[in-house]
C-alpha cells in the first residue's frame, strides 16, 4: 500500500519493511517524542470499540435461552474459561478468565484485520502492540506469583529451584533468570509480531507479484494466475494462523500463570 507496485520490464521490487509504514493522519510532538495517528492506531480503536459494543450488547439483557449474540459471547468466554483457564491453571484460574478472554478476543480481532479488505494490516504487525500485550501478561504472572507465595519465596523458587544439588545452581540460576524473566515476554511478543509481519509480507509478495506479472510484456503473464490463486489460498491460511496465534498467546499466558501459582515442587 505504501509503495506502488513496480510495473513494466524493469524488475519486481519485493515488498520490504517500508510497506508497514503508513502516512500519519495527524502528528504532533511532545517533549521530543513523535506521536502519529495512522491507519494502525485507528484500527486498534475500532477493535476496542467493536469488542466493548459487541460484548455489552450480548449481555445487556441476558436470557436463559441465549440469542445469537449472547450465544457467541458466551461460547467464546466459555472456551477460554473452561478449556484454557480451568484446564491449565486449575480452580484458581477462573479469576483470570476475564483477562484471558479479553486478551483472546482483542488479539483475534486485531489479527483478523490483516485479511479484511480495506484494513489489510494487523496492528500486531507493529512490534509495539504485541510488546505491550506481552508486558501486561508478564507483569500479571509475576504479580500473581508474588501475591500467592510472597515476594521472596516466589523469586527464590525461580532463582534456586528446590530439590537440585547446590553445585548445579551455578548453571541453573542464570538459565532460570534468563528463561523466566527475559525470554518469556520477548518470545511472547516476537511470536505474535513475527507471525503477523510474515503473513502480511507473504500476502504482499503474491498480490504485488500478480500485478507485476500482469504488467510484464511477455509470456510470463500467465504466471500471474498461479500467483493470484496462491494469494487467495494464503489469505485463508492467514485466517487460520491469526486465530491460532491468538490462542497460542492466551495458552502461553495461562501456562506462565500456572507456573507462577503452582505449589512448591
Partner 1 sequence: MSTLAEVNGQLGTIGYGLAAIGPGIGIGLIFAAYINSSARQPESANFTRTWMLVGFAIIEALALFGLVLAFALKK
Distance CA 94, CA 92 (A): 6
Work out how close the CB of 215 gets to partner 1 at its nearest, in angstroms, rounded to a whole number: 20
Distance CA 118, CA 240 (A): 20
* Residue 243 in the binding site for partner 1 (CB under 8 A): no
| Rg from Cα positions in the chain | 23
Among 198, 225, 229, 232, binds partner 1 (CB under 8 A): 198
Among 140, 252, 257, 260, binds partner 1 (CB under 8 A): 252
Q: What is the x/- site pattern for partner 1, positions 10-29, by CB under 8 A? A: ------xx------------
Among 40, 43, 84, 107, binds partner 1 (CB under 8 A): 84
- Contact (CB, 8 A) for 226 and 213: no
Cell of 231: 494469494
Name the DSSP class of 217. S
Q: What is the x/- site pattern for partner 1, positions 37-76, by CB under 8 A? A: ----------------------------------------
Closer to partner 1 by Cβ: residue 59 or 190: 190
Cell of 36: 502519529
Work out how close the CB of 256 gets to partner 1 at its nearest, in angstroms, rounded to a whole number: 10
DSSP symbols for 108-134: HHHHHTTTSTTT-S-GGGSTHHHHHHH
Closer to partner 1 by Cβ: residue 36 or 255: 255
Amino acid at each position: 500500500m505504501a509503495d506502488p507496485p513496480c510495473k513494466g520490464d524493469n524488475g519486481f521490487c519485493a515488498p520490504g519493511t517500508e510497506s508497514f509504514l503508513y502516512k500519519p493522519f495527524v502528528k504532533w510532538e511532545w517533549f521530543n517524542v513523535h506521536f502519529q495517528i495512522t491507519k494502525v492506531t485507528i484500527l486498534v480503536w475500532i477493535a476496542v470499540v467493536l469488542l466493548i459494543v459487541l460484548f455489552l450488547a450480548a449481555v445487556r439483557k441476558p436470557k436463559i435461552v441465549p440469542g445469537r449474540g449472547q450465544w457467541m459471547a458466551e461460547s467464546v468466554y466459555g472456551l477460554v474459561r473452561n478449556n484454557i483457564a480451568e484446564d491449565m491453571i486449575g480452580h484458581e484460574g477462573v479469576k483470570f478468565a476475564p483477562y484471558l478472554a479479553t486478551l483472546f478476543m482483542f488479539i483475534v480481532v486485531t489479527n483478523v484485520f490483516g485479511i479484511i479488505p480495506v484494513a489489510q494490516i494487523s496492528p500486531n504487525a507493529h512490534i509495539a502492540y504485541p510488546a505491550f500485550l506481552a508486558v501486561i501478561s508478564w507483569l500479571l504472572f509475576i504479580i500473581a506469583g508474588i501475591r500467592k507465595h510472597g515476594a521472596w519465596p516466589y523469586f527464590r523458587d525461580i532463582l534456586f529451584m528446590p530439590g537440585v544439588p547446590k553445585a548445579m545452581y551455578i548453571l541453573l540460576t542464570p538459565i532460570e533468570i534468563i528463561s523466566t524473566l527475559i525470554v518469556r515476554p520477548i518470545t511472547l511478543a516476537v511470536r505474535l509480531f513475527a507471525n503477523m509481519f510474515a503473513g502480511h509480507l507473504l500476502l504482499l509478495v503474491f498480490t504485488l507479484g500478480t500485478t507485476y506479472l500482469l504488467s510484464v510484456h511477455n509470456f510470463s503473464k500467465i504466471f500471474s494466475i498461479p500467483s493470484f490463486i496462491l494469494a487467495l489460498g494464503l489469505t485463508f491460511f492467514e485466517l487460520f494462523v491469526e486465530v491460532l496465534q491468538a490462542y497460542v498467546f492466551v495458552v502461553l499466558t495461562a501456562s506462565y500463570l500456572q507456573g507462577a501459582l503452582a505449589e512448591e515442587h
